[in-house]
Structure 1
Amino acid sequence: MAQGQQGRVATSLAGAVIEEIGASLAPVDAELERRYPGDPGTRQPVHTVYVPGDAFAADTVRTWGDGALAALDEHAPDAASFAAVLGLDDALAEDVYERVRAKLEREPVEDLRVDFEDGYGSRPGAEEDEDAARAARTVAETHAAGTAAPYTGIRAKCMEAGVRDRGIRTLDVFLTGLMEASGLPAGLVLTLPKVTYPEQVAAMARLLGAFEATHGLAAGRIGFEIQIETSQAILAADGTATVARMIQAAGGRATGLHYGTFDYSACLGVSAAHQASDHPAADHAKAVMQVAAAGTGVRLSDGSTNVLPVGPTAKVHDAWRLHYGLVRRALARAYYQGWDMHPGHLPTRYAAVFAFYREGFERAAGRLARYADRAAGDVMDEPATARALAGHLLRGLDCGALDGAEVARAAGLTRADLESFAVPRRGGPAASSP
């Protein structure tokens, strides 16, 4: 029996046994690090806005912001009226309203996707070529001018046989146009829609690898989102969770899983009147996506509502209440991103996001401060909870719900401190931070 040297602590296992166990688990250690690198630590946008390829222009972001501000001016011109519509707490109303208006002035769109799929449809080849080339020039110009959304990219057509060649060509035209203009911008995002088999994801990864090799880019420079719009993407014919296999098939390039509310619902036979992001079928799909993505560094995005806030004020208010409720519901379920289909959705997107982070701010900051100081409190938190608390504060800072000074005051921590708690392990799929 060996004896420890400090305080004569007794041990029984020989060093050779420990070394043998370490050697036997080395492949598992490597596998864990490869498959589950943890969150990449980059900003996640709170939403994605889709704009048809033929409608995208240099002023699209500003146009959406102006449209959202006009909707507020017409239908909720002050904090009290906006709070009354949404049921905001009086203590939050003025602050949230002012932050929403400031956000719409400063950064109305966080993530913009130029759409060449459902929102664009089937066009003559020459027309789609020109729209894709123009989209590349416009993205390059807006980045150079500082007016681009923090994240910008395209959704080309899917890898199904009938549209595969067209989708590949559009992607090639767009990426080549960016390279010819000024190179790939930070925050570039590509979306692969209607994925059914992992092999389609692997094909997208090979395609991007070939593009990188052609242009001398670092391997893995270009990542992409996988859009979940079919039942087969959740459950394969053999009963396995296809979406988990898709993440691995991407070879480290997958950056997000986006739930497609209406295609997925229709695939399951849900009638049009009941197709919504809070339908039980949607909850099941997103729960599977969430578990499959956990720890991989791949982020989750909820879908959208197709109820637009347009028309008379009463109708706009009804649509706002619906959208606000859906966004709050998603945030509580840790779906921190969603789709917005109309400028009128922006006020309630940001109102829901800002209220969510501000409501939880003081308590999250206090708990994290006590954890950092190893001080006692009414909740005993563990490292995993500290990661969640720090993540809450960082997401609030990134979107504008929180200010750095108030977080430092309440938590006594810098952003670097928060990041050290939130992302203890670095790595993950290709992603760019603006």
Structure 2
Amino acid sequence: MGQGAQEKVATSLAGAVSEKISASLAPVDAELERRYPGDPGTRQPVHTVYVPGDMFAADTIRSWGDQALAALDDHAPDAASLAAVLGLADELAEPVHARVRAKLEHEPIEDLRVDFEDGYGPCPDAEEDEAAARAARLVSEAYEKGTAAPYMGIRMKCMEAPVRDRGIRTLDIFLTGLMEAGGLPDGLVLTLPKVTYAEQVTAMVRLLEEFEKAHQLEPGRIGFEIQIETSQAILATDGTATVARMIQAAEGRATGLHYGTFDYSACLGVSAAHQASDHPAADHAKAIMQVAAAGTGVRVSDGSTNVLPVGPTSQVHDAWRLHYGLTRRALVRAYYQGWDMHPRHLPTRYAAVFAFYREGFEQAAARLARYVNRAGGDVMDEPATAKALSGYLLRGLDCGALDIAEVARVTGLTRADLEGYAAPRRADLTNSPQ
């Protein structure tokens, strides 16, 4: 048959067969759309900073930035010295150091949680009432003045019986204070700690529903993070993954799963000296969290290190190397967010994040450009890979590791183009060649 001849196309199944199959799978199609809507496409902060409720002040964000800059000046005053401490490649030293300093000057904290749980401890009710009201006022003022972090909120006490009423009251005071000051900010984030049963998540949903009704807010307006700090949150008594049920129990309100390094480690009996985010027990928990959250729109966050960069320079450098390494390790494992517990953790948080995105930028951008232009190359990519490449570049842009001009130079794409590739339709992924 000649090359230009038309192939004969023959089928054996009547059209009604396909219609019957589609009808039988309609409930599954709807379930996929409901349970797995995909990533929301919004910015994910690279970290969450926790500040005790009684220590949170109007200048907290600027104070953390200034303390971090002072630590750089004292212990790594130039690009070469920071690179030597962290083992940065020569070509990364200057851009990473410059971007770290710029970040600390203009946006030192991406996500701040005023803590009324472990970091705050038990206090007289009147004191916690006042602290919660003050937190609401200060958060509202920060957003009004343009000095807020992109994301801010509180961590309340958990839903366990001994502290449940106190946690609910603190949340009510905080949210009511925000409403009275002008409304809920777009960057509002709430954290529910020490969740062990899906029913506790359901209780949080009902609580937020009542608040929304009381203030005539759009249903579902208020979301929250679920903190994974107990073994029961990972594996239930019947052998199922509790965390997956928690996501469903949140009824679309869950925004993140945050790993609690020290509570979870202690729950499993890990000795204090070995409680760290790279312990095998931590890796197991976070892997379960990651799989449970995949495709649901719920994001996963790593925990923190309790080794502080304080003391003489040699001790600061040791702590920085540890924090940098843990942050890098998390990024490679697709945990793009973690906790920072001290201002001096900020330099290595941003150094690790910026190095991660800058060192892979040229290759990722060029690979995406080849995919877009169908130019081929030494790797055969498909829509799922284009999604990952675009997501990588967008995260780099959001945190300040990359600039849109340099991304456009290599890819020829706008941010809107990147967002389109990062959030393809389900059919585009399903029908991609394997």
TM-score using structure 2 length? 0.96
Q: Secondary structure at the match of 2:51?
A: strand
Cα separation, 2, equivalents of 1:258 and 1:353: 18
Equivalence for 1:389: 389
Compute the displacement of 1:425 (Å): 4.4
Matches within 5 A, 1:199-214: 199-214=199-214
Matches within 5 A, 1:240-251: 240-251=240-251
Equivalence for 1:94: 94
Equivalence for 2:254: 254
Per-residue displacement from partner, 1:350-382 (whole Å, max 9, x unpaired)?
000000000110000001001111111110011
- Listed as ranges, the gaps of 5+ residues in structure 2 are 1-5, 427-434
Cα separation, 2, equivalents of 1:249 and 1:104: 38
- Point out the more displaced range, 209-218 or 258-267: 209-218
Per-residue displacement from partner, 1:27-65 (whole Å, max 9, x unpaired)?
000000000000000000000000000111111100000
Matches within 5 A, 1:5-404: 8-404=8-404
Q: Secondary structure at the match of 2:149?
A: coil
Equivalence for 1:429: none
One-letter amino acid of the counterpart of residue 174, structure 2: F
Q: Secondary structure at the match of 1:10?
A: coil
Cα separation, 1, equivalents of 2:415 and 2:124: 50
Q: Secondary structure at the match of 1:11?
A: coil
Q: Secondary structure at the match of 1:360?
A: helix
Compute the displacement of 1:7 (Å): 5.9
Q: Secondary structure at the match of 2:339?
A: strand
One-letter amino acid of the counterpart of residue 326, structure 1: L
One-letter amino acid of the counterpart of residue 16, structure 2: A
Compute the displacement of 1:74 (Å): 0.3
Asked whether 1:423 is paired with 2:423, we answer yes
Higher relative contact order (CA 8 A, sep 6+): 1
Cα separation, 2, equivalents of 1:56 and 1:7: 73
Q: Secondary structure at the match of 2:387?
A: helix
Per-residue displacement from partner, 1:381-420 (whole Å, max 9, x unpaired)?
1111110000000000000000000000011110000000
Q: Secondary structure at the match of 1:69?
A: helix
Cα separation, 1, equivalents of 2:400 and 2:9: 53
Cα separation, 1, equivalents of 2:378 and 2:242: 42
One-letter amino acid of the counterpart of residue 63, structure 2: T
Cα separation, 2, equivalents of 1:9 and 1:206: 57
Q: Secondary structure at the match of 2:320?
A: helix
Cα separation, 2, equivalents of 1:415 and 1:13: 45
The answer as to whether partners of 1:366 and 1:410 remain within 8 angstroms in 2 is yes
Over 3 Å counting, the alpha-carbon distance change for 1:43 and 1:425 in structure 2 is: farther
Over 3 Å counting, the alpha-carbon distance change for 1:129 and 1:425 in structure 2 is: farther
The answer as to whether partners of 1:38 and 1:425 remain within 8 angstroms in 2 is no
Cα separation, 2, equivalents of 1:288 and 1:340: 23
Size of the aligned set, in residue pairs, is 421
Cα separation, 1, equivalents of 2:47 and 2:410: 27
Compute the displacement of 1:92 (Å): 0.5
Cα separation, 1, equivalents of 2:197 and 2:207: 16
Compute the displacement of 1:423 (Å): 1.1
The answer as to whether partners of 1:37 and 1:425 remain within 8 angstroms in 2 is no
Equivalence for 1:3: none
One-letter amino acid of the counterpart of residue 131, structure 2: D
- Listed as ranges, the gaps of 5+ residues in structure 1 are 1-5, 427-434
One-letter amino acid of the counterpart of residue 264, structure 1: Y
Compute the displacement of 1:12 (Å): 1.5
The answer as to whether partners of 1:192 and 1:224 remain within 8 angstroms in 2 is yes
Cα separation, 2, equivalents of 1:347 and 1:35: 38
Cα separation, 1, equivalents of 2:85 and 2:19: 64
Per-residue displacement from partner, 1:60-90 (whole Å, max 9, x unpaired)?
1000000000000000010001100000001
Q: Secondary structure at the match of 1:235?
A: coil
Cα separation, 2, equivalents of 1:411 and 1:93: 24
Q: Secondary structure at the match of 1:122?
A: coil
Q: Secondary structure at the match of 1:339?
A: strand
Per-residue displacement from partner, 1:157-197 (whole Å, max 9, x unpaired)?
00000000000000000000000001000110000000000
TM-score using structure 1 length? 0.96
Equivalence for 2:431: none
The answer as to whether partners of 1:301 and 1:336 remain within 8 angstroms in 2 is yes
The answer as to whether partners of 1:256 and 1:301 remain within 8 angstroms in 2 is yes
Q: Pairwise CA RMSD of aligned residues?
A: 0.9
